[in-house]
């Protein structure tokens, strides 16, 4: 039996821990993570943290990751779920029409969806968050609310098929709930 595939949506400046923890948890759970980005190539990830005494996020270069597929080549029906990673990438990739179409597909089909940190900017831009409760990093609260979503400041928010966390500090809280949704849909 083949492993169900789950999309991990990234771009340049995707947050390293936001991305790698879910990537390896999916493998551990018997899924095949498929990294998707604007182009099929290697991407530079970053590490984000609010440094003590700072009021803004400091950014360092993190690891790199290979995108297996470009957004334009996605066939959403081939995937069991989708995960929107954080970092600055979502701000730059959220206008990609192929990504927006794929995002809407997962919402319309009520398939498992997860988002962390700035990842919320993609489903918000796709007009998929109206009336939905979501966690996100506080600085993205406006993006969520202006698009009709409901901001919840908790480490794990489950709203039907949608699971979200605020930052990578919440990985151990929200990602297990996403795995449970994937498992329930696996049949």
Bridge partners, residue 133, by sequence? 150
Cα–Cα distances in angstroms (integers) from residue 154 to residues 24, 27, 88, in the given order: 23, 26, 21
Residue-wise DSSP of 5-33? EEEEE--TTEEHHHHHHHHHHHHHTT-EE
H/E segment holding residue 101: helix 97-108
169 is catalytic: no
Buried b (16+ CB within 10 A) or exposed e, 126-165: bebbeebbbbbbeebbebbeebebebbeebbbbbebbbbb
Catalytic residue among 48, 118, 169, 173: 118
Residue-wise DSSP of 109-164? TT--EEEEGGGGHHHHHTT--TT-EE---GGGHHHHHHTT-EE--SS-EEETTEEE
Residues with a known catalytic role = 118
């Amino acid at each position: 039996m083949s492993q169900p595939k789950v999309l991990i949506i990234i771009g340049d400046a995707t947050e390293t821990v936001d991305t790698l923890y879910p990537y390896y948890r999916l493998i551990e759970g018997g899924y095949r993570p498929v990294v998707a980005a604007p182009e099929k190539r290697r991407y530079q990830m970053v590490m984000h943290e609010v440094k003590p005494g700072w009021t803004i996020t400091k950014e360092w270069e993190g690891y790199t990751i290979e995108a297996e597929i470009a957004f334009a080549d996605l066939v959403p029906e081939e995937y069991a779920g989708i995960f929107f990673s954080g970092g600055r990438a979502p701000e730059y990739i959220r206008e990609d029409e192929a990504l927006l179409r794929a995002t809407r597909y997962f919402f319309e089909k009520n398939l498992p969806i997860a988002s962390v940190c700035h990842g919320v900017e993609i489903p918000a831009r796709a007009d998929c968050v109206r009336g939905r409760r979501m966690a996100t990093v506080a600085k993205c609260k406006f993006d969520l609310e202006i698009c009709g979503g409901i901001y919840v400041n908790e480490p794990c928010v489950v709203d039907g098929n949608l699971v979200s966390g605020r930052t990578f500090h919440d990985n151990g809280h929200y990602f297990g709930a996403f795995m449970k949704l994937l498992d329930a849909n696996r049949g």
